[in-house]
Amino acid sequence: MKQKAWGAILLSSALLLTGCTSNKEAKKETKEKVEQIDHKEDNPEDVKVYNSVHSQYEKKINDEVNQAMDIWKEAKDGSQGTLKSPKFKEDVQKVTESTLADIESVRKEIRVPKSKERENDEYVGFLNETEQAMKKLAQLAKEENSSLIRDVEVHFSTAVNYYDRFKKEEQGAK
């Protein structure tokens, strides 16, 4: 008798769980349809501002990141004397101040339309990781602590991954 009761309980639990799972998928499909409809209602001014902010800052930030990566490579490949060099410290200060100011400007100026939210999430990840890399690079120059070189590398690597995903999202949207 107990085996039949447990069998019925297990069977009904399995059916209940299966029903819950399929219901979640239906809700997800409905949500995706609603999001697609919302994309059509983007404010054209927001799309225009979004695109102009990206066009204004994207190349500049990329150039600064590339310059910072060159400085980082110099520190990685160089000796301890590289970290103590006044030129190294000056270069780091210039690139970090400029990049951090540009990142802050992007955050203040950008308005994200509904259709660009996923794309912008990737770009925000890029900005966050770039900001962390710049802060670690500045700390590296200030403290002359070579153990921070690996931290800078990780942040730059993650920033590049976010940027690549951002570009894929951007291409997919076109």
Q: What would the pLDDT profile of 71-93 be if each residue is shown by its tens digit?
A: 999 888 887 778 888 999 999 99
* Confidence band, pLDDT 50/70/90 cuts, at residue 70: very high
Rounded to whole angstroms, how far apart are CA atoms 14 and 23? 14
Fill in the DSSP letter of residue 43.
-
Instruction: For the chain, give every domain's residue range.
Output: 1-41, 42-173
Quote the percentage of the chain above a pLDDT of 70: 75
Please state the pTM of the whole predicted model. 0.72
Q: What angle do CA 171, 165, 162 make, to 5 degrees?
A: 140
Q: Tell me: the pLDDT tens digits for 2-33?
A: 555 555 555 555 545 555 555 555 555 555 55
Pick the closest to residue 54 from 4, 1, 122, 8 (CA basis).
122
